[in-house]
Chain A
């Protein structure tokens, strides 16, 4: 159980392109989803937390107009990297957790990640 599907797994595109990444919880309702970015040999960096039906909470230093997050249903969240540039190249990982934020002891389950390369 607790399967999280993330798509696409890899994207290579030109600078200025907008890229949409989907994250789905396949067998549970994800009230909270998290988007992370990870650069090579570095730890996970939380970008934003989203609760279904409400606006995402962005971490300090993450541009909300650059990284658009939509969590319209209990099983789907999307991250759109708008007008991507080479410095946005990274490994983007979503994770999902059921239960209300702050009260649940359920672990976060991760998607397989999306490797984004901007030329």
Chain B
């Protein structure tokens, strides 16, 4: 089957660094996405990885290892506004099409 695992909840301190892991098992692979979702709001796109390695975008970086079925989202210099759920999504093959398969999200709590 197709499955995405990520921790349910994490807590970190303002100004620190946090790494949110995501492991996946999918039929086919055509990219991995990270989204941020604040409570009561729609998700917003953060990053996209399709090749192995690290993609850096400001305070956020995302890493992918296709052989391990593993990704992480790294958040640096944490701010209170980073408190949100972080969703890992993999574009995997379903029937004859590719479709995004969503993780349940990791709720990140930032403490002062």
Q: Do A and B bind each other?
A: yes
- Residues of A that sit less than 8 Å from B by CB: 2, 6, 34, 42-44, 46, 49, 91, 93, 101-103, 105, 107-113, 115
Contact, CB under 8 Å: B97 / A93: no
A93 pairs with B98, CB closer than 8 A: no
Q: Which 4 A-B pairs have the closest CB atoms?
A: A110-B42, A43-B104, A113-B42, A102-B98
- Counting contact residues on chain B (CB < 8 A from A), the size range is 20 to 34
Per-residue A-contact encoding for B4-26, CB less than 8 Å = 1, 0 else: 00000000000000000000000
Secondary structure call for the A interface: loop
Q: Please measure, in the bound complex, the distance between the C-alpha atom of A49 and the C-alpha atom of B98, giving whole angstroms.
A: 11
Query: B33 at interface (Cβ–Cβ under 8 A)?
Result: yes
CB-CB nearest in chain A for B103:
A43
Known: A43-B105, A44-B87, A105-B50. A49 touches B99 (CB 8 A): yes
The complex places the Cα of A80 from the Cα of B100 at a distance, in Å, of 23
- Are B50 and A43 in contact (CB-based, < 8 A)? no
A-B contacts besides A93-B43, A105-B30, A113-B42, 7 pairs, CB < 8 Å? A43-B105, A44-B87, A46-B102, A101-B98, A107-B45, A108-B33, A110-B43
B85 to chain A, nearest CB (A): 9
Q: Which residues of A are found within 8 Å of B104, using beta-carbon distances? A: 42-43
Closest to B95 in A: A57
